[in-house]
C-alpha cells in the first residue's frame, strides 16, 4: 500500500466528501470525518494497517466548486501540511449549469475548471508524497444524457491534470457505470449525485484500489 506510516491523508471536495464532517477541521471524535467515503477509507486503513497510524482529515464543504477550493486552498490544504492529498471536485461545477441555467455567474466552464485544478495541484505538489485526483461523476448510465456528457468532459479534464502532475487518477464514473449495469441509479442516489452507503463504499473502494490497498 502506497500511503506510508505516519502519513496525514487530507481529502477535500464538495458535499459528497463533506457528509456532515466536523468544522472547521474534519477530524476527531463523534463522526468528525462525516458519514461518507472518507470515514470508510479511514476505518479500512486502520483495520488493515493499524501499525501505520495514518491520520485522515476531511475538508469537504457542501456546495463547493473548484473556485471555492481555490479560495480556501491555503487555509484548508497548504496550512495543514498533508503528506497525501485526495481531491474530488467538479459535481457542482457541472450541476449549476443544469439546475441553475440562467445564473451563469455560478457556472464554472471546463477551461476554468481545468486551469484552476491544475493550479491547485501545482501549489500543493511540491510538499506532497502523493496526490490523488478523483473524477466527478453523475449517476446516469446513458452517456448521451446532457449532464452526464458534460460531467464526462470534466472527468477527462481531471485525467489530464493528473497526467501533468504525476498524480493518481481515479475514474469514479467508470466504477459507478459498472455498478449501474445492475442497479437503477435512484436506488443508490435519489438525485443521482449524493450516494447512499453503497455508493460511498464504492468510492472508498475506488480510492483504496488506486493507492494499492491490500484487501487480502
**Beta carbons of 186 and 140 less than 8 angstroms apart:** no
Examine the residue annotation and report whether 7 is marked as an active-site residue of this protein. no
Identify the burial level of 119 via C-beta atoms within 10 angstroms of its C-beta, where 0-12 means exposed, 13-18 middle and 19 or more buried. middle
Q: Among the residues of 100-183, which ranges form H helices?
A: 110-124, 146-165, 172-180
The torsion region of residue 101 among left (phi > 0), alpha (psi -120 to 50) and beta comes to alpha
Per annotation, catalytic residue among 31, 46, 99, 191? 191
Examine the residue annotation and report whether 187 is marked as an active-site residue of this protein. no
**Beta carbons of 69 and 79 less than 8 angstroms apart:** no
Q: CA gyration radius for the chain?
A: 16
Examine the residue annotation and report whether 191 is marked as an active-site residue of this protein. yes
Per annotation, catalytic residue among 15, 42, 64, 200? 15
Bridge-based pairing of strands 130-134 and 168-170 is parallel
Per annotation, catalytic residue among 42, 76, 86, 194? 194
**Beta carbons of 101 and 138 less than 8 angstroms apart:** no
The residues annotated as belonging to the active site are 15, 191, 194
Amino acid at each position: 500500500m502506497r500511503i506510508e506510516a505516519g502519513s496525514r491523508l487530507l481529502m477535500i471536495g464538495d458535499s459528497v466528501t463533506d457528509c456532515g464532517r466536523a468544522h472547521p477541521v474534519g477530524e476527531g471524535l463523534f463522526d468528525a470525518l462525516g458519514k461518507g467515503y472518507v470515514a470508510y477509507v479511514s476505518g479500512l486503513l486502520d483495520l488493515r494497517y493499524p501499525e501505520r497510524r495514518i491520520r485522515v482529515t476531511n475538508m469537504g464543504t457542501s456546495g463547493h466548486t473548484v473556485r471555492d477550493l481555490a479560495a480556501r486552498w491555503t487555509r484548508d490544504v497548504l496550512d495543514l501540511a498533508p503528506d497525501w492529498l485526495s481531491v474530488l471536485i467538479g459535481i457542482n461545477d457541472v450541476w449549476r449549469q443544469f439546475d441553475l441555467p440562467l445564473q451563469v455567474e455560478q457556472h464554472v466552464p471546463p477551461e476554468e475548471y481545468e486551469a484552476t485544478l491544475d493550479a491547485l495541484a501545482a501549489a500543493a505538489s511540491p510538499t506532497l508524497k502523493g496526490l490523488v485526483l478523483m473524477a466527478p461523476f453523475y449517476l446516469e448510465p446513458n452517456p448521451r444524457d446532457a449532464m452526464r456528457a458534460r460531467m464526462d468532459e470534466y472527468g477527462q479534464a481531471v485525467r489530464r491534470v493528473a497526467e501533468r502532475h504525476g498524480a493518481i487518477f481515479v475514474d469514479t464514473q467508470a466504477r459507478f457505470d459498472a455498478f449501474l449495469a445492475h442497479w437503477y441509479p435512484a436506488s443508490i442516489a435519489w438525485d443521482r449525485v449524493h450516494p447512499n452507503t453503497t455508493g460511498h463504499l464504492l468510492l472508498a473502494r475506488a480510492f483504496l484500489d488506486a493507492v494499492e490497498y491490500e484487501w487480502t
